[in-house]
């Protein structure tokens, strides 16, 4: 198996910088769009054969160094007691948002083997097909809570933050349920064969460092302490607020995902040399969309910065835009895979 990605996660020498991109299995691929004409998003993520096929699609076009499981952050919701729909063009819409103690009483901790067997079966199928490592994933507690509380996507997460500040007991109870569920789910994915996992905190950037420390840090530490027993790479990725990077590193994980709002050099400096982490990132997805010299120059800069780090995986600073031309992806991969190991 091509283990270049895993070696970089472990801060071991590699022959070149490994690359995979968030949402690499998705709407920018014509074969994905064609397949999705035949099924809904929920049918795709809950049918192992379809989810496995979609996971493999980008690897059949491009020499990525890892595959990312095709699923959705919110699949644990329904078995946990928060049923939802995935609406095209909108995202997850929770039928009965969690906004009170009585709402919380409906929730239960996730039991992955019983509740999400189709995800684990998808992983088992993929392990028989892949020649690169498989990355499993789920959302971090804050991001999952934001969907549960808001009832769907929100620009300001005001209901989520209001609960956090005004009802801390309720908030911490919800965090305990979600952190236990997240740890169990990612552990089950690794037991099923995932070679690494990524914890997405897509909306954590709305918080201050002080709020993260008080309302999230204890729960995040529990997750990473539990996952450490698996001795597999755990990528911790948050977006939107570079000043949170030191506390994200403090929370845990073996690889720190960096979005495009800060350079890898500055991200590393903010963490300090005493913290032993690999880094992942961090091309702006809009640069991949634009292509041309702007993308090429940024890619060369990121690769140069990554060479100075003990471990670096090239990725985007968030998910690929659906209207990204295939030619731009081809050009990006050529730049990364043909780049020299040393400057």
Query: What's the rounded Cα separation, in Å, for the pair 167 and 100?
Result: 9
First to last CA, the chain: 27
Query: What's the rounded Cα separation, in Å, for the pair 122 and 307?
Result: 35
Q: Count of residues for the chain?
A: 343
Does the active-site annotation cover 36? yes
**Active-site pick, 4, 65, 72, 201:** 72
**Active-site pick, 16, 36, 61, 301:** 36
Does the active-site annotation cover 147? yes
The owner of tokens 């450490």 is 228
How far is residue 183 CA from its own chain's centroid?
Answer: 14
Does the active-site annotation cover 27? yes
Query: What's the rounded Cα separation, in Å, for the pair 146 and 168?
Result: 15
**Active-site pick, 10, 11, 16, 27:** 27
**Active-site pick, 4, 23, 32, 195:** 23
**Active-site pick, 4, 32, 99, 147:** 147
DSSP 187-199: HHHHHHT-SEEEE
Helices (H), the chain: 4-9, 30-36, 41-46, 48-61, 77-80, 101-105, 112-115, 117-127, 141-150, 158-166, 168-192, 209-215, 217-227, 245-251, 264-271, 285-290, 292-307, 326-337
Give burial (CB, 10 Å; 0-12/13-18/19+) of 234.
buried
- Please name the helix (run of DSSP H) or strand (run of DSSP E) that holds residue 234, with its range, or none: strand 234-238
As annotated, the active-site residues are 23, 27, 36, 72, 147
């Amino acid at each position: 198996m091509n283990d270049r990605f895993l070696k970089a996660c472990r801060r071991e020498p590699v022959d070149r910088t490994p690359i995979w991109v968030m949402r690499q299995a998705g709407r920018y691929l014509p074969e994905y769009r064609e397949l999705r004409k035949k099924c809904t998003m929920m049918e795709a993520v809950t049918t192992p054969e379809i989810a496995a096929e979609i996971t493999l699609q980008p690897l059949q076009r491009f020499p990525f160094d890892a595959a990312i499981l095709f699923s959705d952050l919110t699949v644990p919701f329904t078995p946990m007691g928060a049923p939802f729909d995935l609406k095209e063009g909108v995202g997850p819409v929770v039928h009965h948002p969690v906004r009170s103690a009585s709402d919380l009483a409906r929730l239960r901790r996730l039991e992955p083997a019983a509740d999400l067997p189709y995800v684990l079966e998808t992983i088992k199928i993929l392990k028989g097909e892949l020649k690169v490592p498989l990355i499993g994933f789920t959302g971090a507690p804050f991001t999952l809570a934001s969907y549960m509380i808001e009832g769907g996507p929100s620009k300001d997460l005001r209901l989520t933050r209001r609960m956090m500040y005004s009802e801390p007991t309720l908030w911490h109870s919800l965090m305990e349920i979600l952190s236990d569920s997240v740890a169990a789910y990612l552990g089950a994915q690794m037991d099923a064969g995932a070679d690494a996992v990524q914890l997405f905190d897509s909306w954590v950037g709305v918080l201050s460092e002080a709020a993260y420390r008080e309302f999230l840090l204890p729960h995040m530490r529990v997750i990473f302490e539990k996952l450490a027993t698996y001795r597999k790479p755990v990528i911790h990725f948050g977006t939107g607020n570079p000043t949170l990077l030191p506390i994200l590193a403090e929370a845990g994980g073996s690889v720190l995902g960096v979005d495009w709002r800060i350079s890898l050099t500055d991200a590393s400096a903010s963490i300090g040399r005493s913290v032993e982490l690999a880094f992942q990132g961090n091309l702006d997805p809009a640069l991949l969309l634009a292509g041309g010299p702007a993308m090429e120059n940024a890619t060369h800069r990121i690769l140069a910065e990554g060479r100075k780090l003990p471990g670096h995986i090239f990725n985007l600073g968030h998910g690929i835009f659906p209207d990204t031309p295939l030619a731009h992806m081809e050009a990006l991969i050529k730049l990364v895979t043909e780049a020299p190991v040393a400057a």
